[in-house]
Amino acid sequence: MPAVPPVGAAPRIWQVGALCRAIADALDARFNPVAVRGELSGFSRAASGHCYFSLKDGDGQIRCAMFRRAAGLLDFNPRDGDSVEVTGRLDVYGPRGDLQLIVESLTRAGQGALFEQFLRLKARLEAEGLFDAARKRAPPALPRGIGLVTSLGAAALHDVVTCLSRRVPHIPVVLAPAAVQGTQAPADLVRALDGLYRLAATGTIDVILLVRGGGSIEDLWAFNDEQLARTIARSPVPLVSGVGHETDFTIADFVADLRAPTPTAAAELAATARSEWLAQLDQAQAQLRTAAARRLDLGNQRIDVAAARLGRPSARLGGQRLRLAAQAHRLRYAVAGRLLAAQGALPAVAGALSAAVAARLRSAHERLDRQQLQLEMLDPRLVLQRGYALLTDLDGTAITSAGQTRIGQALRASLADGEVDLTVAPRRLI
């Protein structure tokens, strides 16, 4: 029930179109589907095939529209004044705000008993909770197998098999044939479903399709059977009902986990198409390639930074030699300067000072010799004289691992007495 606004509160302001839609939704929830008995008035058939008329009795009338598909199922020519029974759904025609009845079937008066029986069974099963949304299950996206219940001679069988072959040719289909019309049809349908339920218990199938083509309420009556409805309700796997056309409703549709407007639509809802899975795989593959390339780029950048920091040993050795020569020069200049100053300022102690200076000088020379010796010990040429080589690429980057080389790559080996250009060859197995 809509909330009642407090006394004195300003009413909600509606947009006209929104109000029409809200009224249509309320009518749909409260009345549809609906059956009406009355007298035809103003019956006309447009060039499009749609029929328009009014239903009236002594107390009122209502506008009706019967679209071409439903009108094509008429088995008599309606005339003004005919007493008829119609089934359909109430709606609001937004452009004019008119209440209208969309007629889905029209019969001469007297055939409405079946529909009343349908409504009574629908109300009883709904009260028991067989239609509750909480018990509905979605079909699996990738079932191991699909069960199919329909007649061997039905056009729906061809439509469903064609659709499944196109969308999911990799999924096996198990057909449980059954009559879909006539007095024996309900028992046949129950038997076929029970057989598929046993297969479902073994994991062979994960979803069941219950389908047949369109027809009159009498043609579809087998799908309004109470025993069939209760059998559908205890299905161990999701069950999709595709009975009749979009405007046809049966008890089986309400009990099923999912109702499709046509048999072909039921097949489309049974599983995700193979093309969609392949598209997702392609997308995942592209993402993996992008991520791998990004990781490789980052790794190469780290290698470049490390190589730049390491540099060539000869360059570092040259820098150390320059710093050592500068220190030796400063040391000699400092000692000589202090000696001259001492000689000029303290002539009386020149001898002692000279000896001290000489001792300092000898000590400095010894220190310089030791540093020279340490420097020479670090000279890579000594290592090269023992038979080793410094291996670099043509840009001067040191090669420290076989993984840095490739077959056919040009390299340069620095030996004790010169350089040799090399080419990487395949490793020979001994």
List, edge to edge, every strand of the sheet that includes 207-212. Answer: 173-177, 146-150, 207-212, 239-243, 258-259
Q: Where are the beta strands (DSSP E) in 133-196?
A: 146-150, 173-177
The residue written with tokens 């339920």 in the block is 197
How far is C-alpha 303 from the geometric centre of its chain's CA atoms?
Answer: 37
Give the residue, 96 or 149, on which the prediction is more confident: 149
Q: Lowest mean pLDDT: which of 86-95, 281-290, 311-320, 411-420?
A: 311-320
Taking the CB of residue 167, how many other CB atoms lie within 10 A of it? Answer: 17
Q: What value does the mean pLDDT of the chain take?
A: 82
Q: Assign 429 a pLDDT band (cuts: 50, 70, 90).
A: low
**pTM value?**
0.46
pLDDT at 331 over 90: no
Distance CA(120)–CA(125), nearest Å, equals 9
Q: Assign 1 a pLDDT band (cuts: 50, 70, 90).
A: very low
The percent of the chain in helix, strand and coil, each rounded to the nearest 5, is 45, 20, 35
What's the one-letter identity of residue 133? A
Distance CA(326)–CA(321), nearest Å, equals 9
pLDDT at 242 over 70: yes
Give the residue, 98 or 259, on which the prediction is more confident: 259
- Indicate the pairing of strand 98-108 with strand 83-93: antiparallel
* DSSP class of 398: B
Distance CA(84)–CA(49), nearest Å, equals 20
Distance CA(41)–CA(44), nearest Å, equals 9
Question: What pLDDT score does 117 carry?
Answer: 84
Give the residue, 229 or 302, on which the prediction is more confident: 229
Question: What pLDDT score does 149 carry?
Answer: 95
What's the one-letter identity of residue 141? A
Q: Assign 4 a pLDDT band (cuts: 50, 70, 90).
A: low
